[in-house]
Amino acid sequence: MSKEYILRVQCPDKYGIVAKVSTTLNKANLFILDSAHYGDPENKTFFMRAKLIYPKKVFNIDDFSKFFSKECKSLKMEWSIEDIDYKPNTAIFVSKYGHCLQDLMYRVDSGILPMNVSCIISNHKDHQKIASWHNIPFFHIPVIKDNKNKSEKEIRKILKEYNIDLLILARYMQILSNKMSHDFFGKIINIHHSFLPSFKGAKPYHQAYEKGVKILGATAHYVSSKLDEGPIIDQSVERVDHAMTPKDLELIGRDLESITLARAVKYHIERRIFINNSKTVIFN
């Protein structure tokens, strides 16, 4: 039975990369079903994502990796190949607001987001029933000013135990340490309750109301050591008007947050995102 794979390539840009990669894949009896590439004119970096199919029964990734690395050594590339059916082990972090968590679980259950939700971690107990309903381990780890290091050690232990590949901050209202942000860079997706950069803090929709904004937004981004300044994955906006109350704005905002986070997670799962310094390249 034939199998499909995702090949990702990133390297210094130069002439002949696509031709070299295509020729090498052909030699390995891999057929390209879909391919997209981009060369950044500013930093001279090349990015490529290709969906491949191997028509024979057995595909040895180790043998292919050795062959591909040898054939493309001159391109000095960073690359990876993964089974298209691979589902990342995911930990969802949540605080008191549960709309993003519930939306993600619906999309997982319906097959829209192919990932294994291995555990749910929260600094509150509010959503323990959701975890129980889905038969997912729930960990209540309180975070207070004097115990943040202890809490993070507990979190790291859980992530290691469940072999977590992806961390989703679904309105998790705690700031991760610089070390954790660094150690898991490119593997932590956060949803920010505004169209960055704007309205930081606990009550963004009240701030928006006071300013009389005409557009609400939400931003999904990778977490970095700089608060809310990691590479942006996706953003959504919707027009609002003067007649709307803070509650109206909050309801609209919650929808935007859920949609934007889900879209960012889907891009990540499908290996469509490349981090390009402080930005992202995303092949739709």
Residue 146 in tokens: 């004097």
Region for residue 199 given its phi and psi (left: phi exceeds 0; alpha: psi -120 to 50; beta: otherwise): left
Which of 13, 40, 126, 228 is flagged as catalytic? 228
Alpha-carbon distance 59 to 28, whole Å? 10
Closest CA to 222 of 194, 185, 196, 259: 185
Q: Is 183 tagged catalytic?
A: no
Active site residue ranges: 228
